[in-house]
Amino acid sequence: NGGTGTSDDPYTISGDKETVTAGTTLLNTRQSGEYVNFDGELYRIVGIENNTTKLNKMDYVRDESNEVIEKNFASSTTFGSGDSDTYWDYYLNNTWYNSISETYKNMLVAGTYYLGRVGSDSSYKGAICATASNTVTTAACIKTSSIWTGYVGLPRYGEMFASQQGNGWSSSESMWLITPYSSSFVWGVSSYGSDSLISPSSSTNGARPSINLQSGITINGGTGTSDDPY
């Protein structure tokens, strides 16, 4: 029905979401792939669950010099086990969380992050379903009991937009995913875009936070593109 097929002006087809009405349209009525400006940073919608909107940050967490911060994943392969700023799970849910302005912090809600193990050559569905043979998109997927609940997580193995966001073949830094591979390793994405197995407490890498916004958040403007996010 319109558009040129670029990221800033995608094609629109019959059945697309209705036009956004500023101050009225709920963010949780939009679709995966659209962009959101959250506290001055660019995020992307990766899904809607229980009426909350899950966003993944497009860029890494950086310091005041704009350098990518590198940290250990956690004290084990289970996200949420860290007890100091040495670890991303602790840092994101304490230091980084407290750096968010109060206006935006009040929009956050604790989300469920699925921690099912995904072995080599296994289906990515094992990260979210009780068994990899379950189907994510239907009621047949019995969700794994391996979860972490909190305000700030990381992208999941196999999740939409969990890849690197750098330019060309090489990104700025390797990054962590939240999905464990085994009792000794966690999945990550190398700076060259390939998946990799990393020791959670002996290796340091960058991170792209994942957050969930409350169900009542409305859109005040924008069209949902990278140049004009909600």
pLDDT (tens place) for every residue of the chain, 230 residues total: 667 777 777 776 655 567 888 878 999 999 899 999 999 999 999 999 889 999 999 999 999 999 999 999 999 999 999 999 999 999 999 999 999 999 999 999 999 999 999 998 888 999 999 988 888 877 789 999 999 999 999 999 999 889 876 654 456 689 999 999 999 999 999 888 888 999 999 999 999 999 999 999 999 999 999 999 99
Tokens 């990221």 map to which residue? 7
Choose among 111, 136, 110, 112: nearest CA to 123: 136
pTM for this prediction: 0.89
Angstrom distance (rounded) from CA 133 to CA 201: 31
Question: What does 200-226 look like in DSSP terms, one character per residue?
Answer: TTT--BB---EEEE-TT-B--S--SSS
